[in-house]
Amino acid sequence: MSQSNPRQRLSLYSHRTLSHDVAAALKASPPLTIRTQNIEPTPAPPPSPVDFGSYASAASNDSEAVDEQWRRRRSISEQAVTA
């Protein structure tokens, strides 16, 4: 098979049977109205069994504790790098 441009290989003008194949596929497919009807939003998933809210709100309220934890983690990681 000769190498040719992909656009030319799939051209409806150079391959007469391709247009018939496309037309047959469109006729065999369901009508557009069937494919676009009854589209509704999906229901929300059930709530998570794990409550992340209490931990996140407690940590965000105590900014000094968060800063101290960050400093502690930073010093531990620096010690690990220098060791």
DSSP assignment string, 5-70: -HHHHT-TTT-HHHHHHHHHHHHHSPPHHHHHSS--PPPPPPPPSS--HHHHHHHHH-HHHHHHHH
Give pLDDT, residue 47: 82
pLDDT band at 6 (very low <50, low <70, confident <90, very high): low
Give pLDDT, residue 34: 58
| pTM of the complete model | 0.25
Do 65 and 59 contact (CB within 8 A), yes or no?
yes
pLDDT band at 15 (very low <50, low <70, confident <90, very high): low
pLDDT value at 45 more than 60: yes
Over the stretch 27-37, which tens digit does the pLDDT of each residue have?
Answer: 777 776 655 66
